[in-house]
A and B are shown apart, each in its own frame.
Chain A
Amino acid sequence: MANLTLVQAINLALIQEMEKDDRVILLGEDVGANGGVFRVTEGLQKRFGANRVVDTPLAESGIIGTSIGLAMAGLRPVPEIQFEGFLGPAYDQLCSHAARMRTRTRGAFTVPMTVRVPVGGGIHAPELHSDSPEAFYAHQPGLKVVMPSGPYDAKGLLISALRDPDPVIFFEPKRIYRAIREEVPEDEYTIPIGKARVVCEGTDLTVVSWGASVIQCMQAIEACGRSVELIDLRTIYPMDMETVEQSVSKTGRCVIVHEAPRTCGVGSEVATQIMEKCFLHLEAPVQRVTGFDTIMPYYKLELEYLPDAARIQRGIEDCLAY
Chain B
Amino acid sequence: MPITNALTTTIERVSILDEHGNFDEKLGKGLIPDADLLKLYETMVTCRMMDEVAFKLQRSGRMGTYPQNMGQEANSLGAAYALNNDDWLVTCYRENCGLMWRGVPIDSILLHWMGDERGNAMPRPHHATPIAVPIGTQMLHATGLAWAAKYRGQKQIACTFFGDGATSEGDFHEACNFAANLDIPVIFFCQNNFWAISVPGRIQCSAPTVAQRGIAYGMPCLQLDGNDLFAVVYGVRKAIEHARTTGKPFFIEGVTYRLGDHTTADDARRYRDQAEVDAWKARDPITRLRNYMTKKGIWSDAKDAALREAAEASCMATIERCEQVEHPVRSDVFNYTFADLPADLATQRDTGHTHSLGQDPSQLPSASNAR
Contacts and interface: CB of A to CB of B under 8 A. Distances in A.
B182 interface: no
Nearest to A316: B355
A33 interface: yes
Given A128-B133, A299-B64, A294 B333 contact: yes
B165 interface: yes
B364 interface: yes
Interface stretch (B48-56, B97-105, B112-120): B112-120
Contact of B354 (A32, A292, A319, A322): A292
A198 to B, nearest CB: 22
A127 B132 CA distance: 9
B168 A311 contact: no
Contact of A294 (B113, B345, B357): B345
Nearest to B266: A37
B328 A58 contact: no
Interface string B75-114: 0000000000000000000000000000000000000111
A300 B328 contact: yes
A255 B170 CA distance: 42
B298 interface: no
Contacts of A288: 354-356
B196 A29 contact: yes
A290 B349 CA distance: 13
A59 B168 contact: yes
B136 A285 contact: no
Interface stretch (B34-42, B197-205, B213-221): B197-205
Contacts of A297: 117, 332-333
A311 B345 CA distance: 17
Interface string B169-191: 11100000000000000000000
Interface residues of A, number: 55
A88 B113 CA distance: 22
A29 B168 CA distance: 11
Contact of B115 (A56, A57, A292, A300): A300
B366 A37 contact: no
A295 interface: yes
A255 B168 contact: no
B293 to A, nearest CB: 36
Interface in B259-274: 265-266, 270-271
A55 interface: yes
Given A289-B355, A300-B116, A89 B170 contact: yes
Contact of A293 (B133, B199, B345): B345
A57 B170 contact: no
Interface in A4-44: 29-30, 32-35, 37
B65 interface: yes
A321 B165 contact: no
17 contacts: A34-B270, A37-B265, A58-B199, A62-B170, A85-B133, A126-B65, A255-B355, A290-B354, A292-B333, A297-B117, A298-B117, A300-B116, A301-B332, A311-B353, A315-B355, A318-B361, A321-B365
Closest 9 CB pairs of A and B: A299-B115, A34-B198, A57-B168, A318-B357, A58-B165, A287-B355, A298-B115, A300-B115, A59-B168
Interface of B: 64-65, 112-117, 133-136, 165-166, 168-171, 196-199, 203-204, 265-266, 270-271, 327-328, 330, 332-334, 337, 344-345, 348-349, 352-358, 361, 363-366
Given A285-B356, A305-B333, 18 more contacts: A30-B198, A32-B198, A33-B199, A34-B198, A57-B168, A57-B203, A59-B168, A88-B134, A124-B65, A125-B64, A125-B65, A287-B355, A288-B356, A297-B117, A299-B115, A301-B332, A315-B355, A318-B358
Interface of A: 29-30, 32-35, 37, 55-62, 85-86, 88-89, 124-129, 255, 262-263, 284-285, 287-295, 297-302, 304-305, 307, 311, 314-315, 318-319, 321-322
